[in-house]
Amino acid sequence: MKKIISIALLTLALLVGLRWGYTKFGEVMRAKHMASAMIPSVRLATVEEADVATTLESPGRVVAFYDVDVYTRVPGFLQKQYFTDGSYVKKGDVLMLIEPQEYVLAVQRAQAALQSAKAEAAKAEKDYLRAKELVEKDYIPKSTYDSTTAQRDVARAQVANAQAALNDAKRNHSYTRITATVSGKISNIQISEGNFVTPQSGALANIVSVDPIFVQYSIDSKQLNQLKTEGVLPGANSAQPVKVEIILPDNTVYKHQGVADFLGNQISRSTGTLDMRATFKNDEGILIPGDFVKVITHSNITTKKTVVPQAFVLQDPGGKYVFVVDENGKGKRTPIETGAQEGENWVVESGLKPGDAIVGEGALKVVDGYPVKIISDEEWEKLQKEEEERKQEGAQ
């Protein structure tokens, strides 16, 4: 009996062991499968060398095409503000209203004075004609005629003076409507409605034009001589427009190229530099007056430079970097320093050399220090096609 029980227990233990082993084997296999599925597939790219035009870099500052302060031309109470602080205004838009009643009355008084002067002038003209007729017949002395002539001339002058006074009153009345003299972005109002303002009160607001916009920068004498040699100085004798680029404060390249259109007439004694200016399109308002940028001038001389496609370069708060694959098949973050933009490539100043293999497509899925799977161009195309088909099936 005891022997039978022992055999049963042994059989049960064996079955439990087999079950446990099968379960663990399944878990291990699933874990391996999941780990394999989580390893990203990548396609490598080779860092190349290209002929790149040499560039000159200069610090620059964004400057408004127009920078206009808005003043009142006549004294009075600021009755109404028509614009929204910080909005865009067009040339001719009414911005503010000075209380107009006083100036309306001034126009009416001037009109009345003009009518009176015209009436006096009409009477003087009749007296003059009558005196002229009488003096020709010797009915009145010549002195009376001269006096009548003088009265007529005085009356005419008074009409002209009254007309000028009316024009002045109308002009002052028009000044009660303060309008924008340029198109651009307006500041907040500096003196609120209800206050008494005069031309001496200071600027009521400021308008800066933003499109197009200037970037002012300077070059030293060495850079000047280089640009002279290569014939890329702006001016009337320039064979073609001198195009420049700018690097924004976030280290990105501004999407529009500018044209250098001004060259100073003398080198500063204090700084040893020559002022220059370029004009840029700014339809989206990205460039803000007062901002600092880096100006890149391209020359006609090319040199061999290391370049890498922009699409393969990643960036975070720590700077720009690419991924390479180490000897253990793991992705390795490699910081790089870039220079100017050359077409769809970055010029690499440090961190890479021609011939280096970097992760191209698939770089966004790579995690620093974790394995990656390198696949061929054909495999990559096949993988992309399969992913696209899965997306289409999921959409259905």
Give the DSSP letter string of 277-328. Answer: EEEE--TT--S-TT-EEEEEEEEEEEEEEEEEEGGG-EEETTEEEEEEE-TT
Q: What is the pLDDT of residue 137?
A: 81
Over residues 33-59, the mean pLDDT reads: 76
Average pLDDT value for residue range 321-344: 85
Spatial separation of the C-alpha atoms in residues 320 and 117, rounded to whole Å: 81
pLDDT, residue 204, reads 93
Least confident of 25-39, 78-92, 136-150, 370-384: 25-39
Q: Is the pLDDT at 386 greater than 60, yes or no?
A: yes
Q: What pLDDT score does 395 carry?
A: 62
* H or E stretch at 32: helix 2-38
In percent, the amount of the chain with pLDDT more than 70 equals 86
Mean pLDDT of the chain: 83
Residue among 259, 263, 248 nearest 213 (CA): 259
**Structural domains of the chain sorted by starting position, each given as residue range(s) with its CATH number in brackets:** 38-51+305-394 (2.40.420.20), 55-63+210-302 (2.40.30.170), 70-99+177-207 (2.40.50.100), 101-174 (1.10.287)
Q: Identify the top-confidence range among 23-27, 239-243, 332-336.
A: 332-336
Length of the chain: 396
Backbone phi and psi for residue 223, each to the nearest 5 degrees, phi listed first? -65, -40
What does the pLDDT look like over 225-269, one tens digit per residue?
877 776 667 764 555 677 888 999 888 889 898 888 888 888 888
The order of strands in the sheet holding 196-197 is 177-179, 94-98, 76-81, 196-197
Report, as an integer, the average pLDDT of 42-61.
Answer: 84
Predicted confidence (pLDDT) at residue 2 exceeds the cutoff of 60: no
Q: Report the 10 Å Cβ neighbour count for 192.
A: 9
Helix H, strand E, coil C: the string for 41-70 is: EECEEECEEEEEEEEEEEEEEEECCCEEEE
> What is the pLDDT confidence band of residue 114, given thresholds at 50, 70 and 90?
very high
Mean pLDDT value of segment 26-54: 67
Return the pLDDT at 176.
94
pLDDT at 34: 40
Mean pLDDT of the region 355-378: 84
Angle at which helix 101-136 crosses helix 142-174, to 10 degrees, equals 160
Confidence category of residue 30, pLDDT binned at 50, 70, 90: very low
Residue 133 has pLDDT above 90, yes or no: no
More confident residue, 166 or 220: 166
> What whole-number distance in Å separates Cα of residue 66 and Cα of residue 372?
55
Whether 54 shows a pLDDT value over 60: the answer reads yes
Average pLDDT, integer, range 310-335 = 88
Is the pLDDT at 29 greater than 50? The verdict is no
Please tell me which residue, 67 or 388, carries the higher pLDDT value.
Answer: 67
Mean of pLDDT values over 368-372: 87
Residue 17 reports pLDDT greater than 60: no
**Contact at 8 Å (CB) between 135 and 142?**
yes
Model confidence over 171-201: pLDDT tens digits? Answer: 999 999 999 999 999 999 999 999 999 999 9
Using DSSP, state whether 360 is helix, strand or coil: coil
Instruction: Give the pLDDT confidence score for residue 235 in this predicted structure.
Output: 61
Instruction: Find all residues with CB under 8 Å of 92, minimum gap 6, and list them.
Output: 179, 180
pLDDT reported for residue 50:
86
3-state secondary structure of 132: helix
Q: What is the pLDDT of residue 231?
A: 67
